[in-house]
Amino acid sequence: MDAQGNRVLVTGGRGFIGRAVVKLLQDSGCGVVSLDVAPGVNSSARRHELECDISDARQLQRVFEIESIGGIIHLAAILPTAAQREPALATEVNVHGSLNLLEMARRFGVRRFVLGSSLSVYGTCPPDQVVSEADRAAPEDLYGAAKLYIEQLGAAYEQDGLEFVSLRIGRVVGSGARSASSAWRSQIFEYLASTHAREIILPYVGSERILLAHVDDVAKMLAELLRAPKPVHSVYNAACESVVVADLKREVERLNPLVKVGLGEAYASGNPRRLDWSRLQDEFGFQTLPIFERLRIAAGKS
C-alpha cells in the first residue's frame, strides 16, 4: 500500500495483538498508523502512534484527514470481562466505535478493512463439535454479540465498495500480554526461563480443551488478509490448536520443574473446543508452529 503513499491503520495498536501486528507490518517496510486511547510513544518515517478514541467520530475523522489510509486492521475493543462490567462503555467502543471506523473507511476510500473478530461469536459448542465458518453464530455475551454485529455491518458496507474481511480469533497466547484477568496466557511462556519457583493458575479443569493461537501467528494471519489480492470469503476462522489443559500443565512443568501449574474448575463456555480452519489453510497455505514447540523454544530446549 505504501507504493501509493498509503498507510495501514491499526486500531488498538498498543494492545497485545496490536503491537505484534504493528511490528510485523513495519518490519516488512509498510507504513503504519498505530491508533490507541493510550498515548503514543513512537514516531518514525514508517510508523506514527496517535492517541485517539474511536468512539469519538470527530477525533477519528481528523486522523483520516491528516493520514492517507489504504487499509485498516481493526483490533480496538473493550474485552469480555470489562465489557460485562461496563456494558455502556463496551457498546460505545465496540459497536459505535467500529461503526465510526467503517464510515470513515467508506468516506475516505479505504480499500480493505480487516476485523479482528472472535470465536466467541459461536457461543458454547458441544465438546466434540468441530466448528467451521458454516456453523451458526450464537454469541452468549456482549463481546461476542458486538463482533458478530460488526461483521454484519461490514457486509453492508461492502455494497459501497469497501472490501471487508473478518478473522475469528481464539485465546491468544505469547509473551507480553499484560493481562490481569488471564495472566497465564503470557506466563506459560515467560516463566519457562525462570531460575526460581513460579506458579501459574490455569482456570480450567484438566479435562477441558481450549483453542490457542500464538500472537505471532495471529499477526501473520491479519497481515495476510490485509495484503491478499482478493480474499474469497468474508469470514475466516483463525488457525488455532485444540489443547487439553492437563497436557498443557504437564508440558510446562516438564520443561521447567521450578514452575508449578495449578488448575481451576472452569469450563470453556462461550467458545468452541475444536475448530476447522481449513478455509484459511486451503486459500492461503497458512501453517502454524505447534504451541508445545513454541513452549520448548521459550524454555531454550528446541
What does the block give as the cell for 213? 493461537
Together in a domain, 98 and 12: yes
> Does residue 284 form part of some domain?
no
> Does residue 233 form part of some domain?
yes
> Does residue 50 form part of some domain?
yes
* Residue 166 vs residues 63, 123, 147, 178: alpha-carbon distances, Å: 23, 17, 9, 25
Report the catalytic residues: 143
- What's the distance, Cα to Cα, between the start and end of the chain in Å? 37
Together in a domain, 136 and 65: yes
Here the CATH number for the domain that contains residue 192 is 3.90.25.10
What is the per-residue pLDDT for 301?
A: 86
| Spatial separation of the C-alpha atoms in residues 140 and 230, rounded to whole Å | 32
Together in a domain, 152 and 229: yes
Together in a domain, 81 and 185: no
Q: DSSP assignment of 7-55, as one string?
A: EEEEETTTSHHHHHHHHHHHHTT--EEEEESSPP--B-SSEEEEE--TT
Encode pLDDT of 177-216 as tens digits: 887 778 999 999 999 999 999 999 999 999 999 999 999 9
Model pTM? Answer: 0.95
Here the CATH number for the domain that contains residue 103 is 3.40.50.720
What is the per-residue pLDDT for 48?
A: 85
Give the count of domains, the chain: 2
Together in a domain, 91 and 78: yes
Together in a domain, 159 and 14: yes
| Spatial separation of the C-alpha atoms in residues 33 and 31, rounded to whole Å | 7
| Spatial separation of the C-alpha atoms in residues 285 and 239, rounded to whole Å | 11
Which is nearest to 237 in space by CA: 253, 213, 216, 214? 213
Sign (positive/negative) of CA torsion 277, 211, 163, 13? negative
> Does residue 125 form part of some domain?
yes
Together in a domain, 78 and 42: yes
- Give the relative orientation of helices 57-66 and 98-107 as an angle to the nearest 10 degrees: 30
What is the per-residue pLDDT for 44?
A: 54
> Does residue 279 form part of some domain?
no
> Does residue 65 form part of some domain?
yes
Together in a domain, 111 and 50: yes
Q: Which residue range forms the structural domain that includes residue 104?
A: 2-171+213-237
| Spatial separation of the C-alpha atoms in residues 124 and 140, rounded to whole Å | 8
**Residue 1's CB: how many other CB atoms inside 10 A?**
19
What does the block give as the cell for 67? 493520514
Together in a domain, 94 and 81: yes
Together in a domain, 128 and 205: no
Convert 145-193 into a string of H (helix), E (strand) and C (coil): HHHHHHHHHHHHHHHHCCEEEEEEECEEECCCCCCCCCCHHHHHHHHHH
Distance, CA of 218 to chain centre? 6
Together in a domain, 36 and 183: no
What is the per-residue pLDDT for 4?
A: 45
Together in a domain, 92 and 114: yes
> Does residue 76 form part of some domain?
yes
> Does residue 281 form part of some domain?
no
What is the per-residue pLDDT for 2?
A: 46
Per-residue pLDDT of the chain (302 residues; tens, 9 = 90+): 543 458 999 999 999 999 999 999 999 999 999 999 977 565 554 558 999 999 999 999 999 999 999 999 999 999 998 999 999 999 999 999 999 999 999 999 999 999 999 999 999 999 999 999 999 999 999 999 999 999 999 999 998 889 999 999 999 999 998 877 789 999 999 999 999 999 999 999 999 999 999 999 999 999 999 999 999 999 999 999 999 999 999 999 999 999 999 999 999 899 999 999 999 999 999 999 999 999 999 999 87
